[in-house]
Structure 1
Amino acid sequence: MMFWDDHGMSGWGFGLMTAGMLIFWVLIVLGGVMLFRQLGRVPHHGGAEAEDRSPEDRSPERLLAERFARGEIDTDEYRRRLDMLRSGSGPDDS
């Protein structure tokens, strides 16, 4: 006589097997989504940042303010250059 007891697998065995398969497929789908998003991402380089800006964002005063904010120039240098930009005189007009 043959025994059809699924080799001793109880309700817990079926539950764990189902949970394992669900976790497996969720991980596969999440990995695919992450890969798709990573491949679709446009690389962002420092030089390309300036090209993406509108003309208003690339004004000389804005660039000067960014340099001041980064600490590349001090307060005196910032004010001197800002006054020069607003007066319309260049460095050669002295």
Structure 2
Amino acid sequence: MLFWGAVITAIVLFSRTVGTGNRRYDAGGHGPGIAEHLLAERFARGEIDESEYTARLNVLRHRA
């Protein structure tokens, strides 16, 4: 029983690590990440226009 608990725990931890790879990359402030993806989705849905999309994208890419 303890063995199977350890196996299941290892699988869950591994899947979480693999699944959050982009978030960790984005959290460091390097490269494109979740924020740009969400912004693109809002633009695609028509929630924001092209000028607002471009302005916000520039802010995301040039943040300190």
TM-score in terms of structure 2 length: 0.49
TM-score, normalization by structure 1: 0.34
Between structures 1 and 2, the one with greater helix share: 2
Q: Which structure would you say has the larger RCO, counting Cα contacts within 8 Å and 6 or more residues apart? A: 2
Which one has the largest radius of gyration? 1
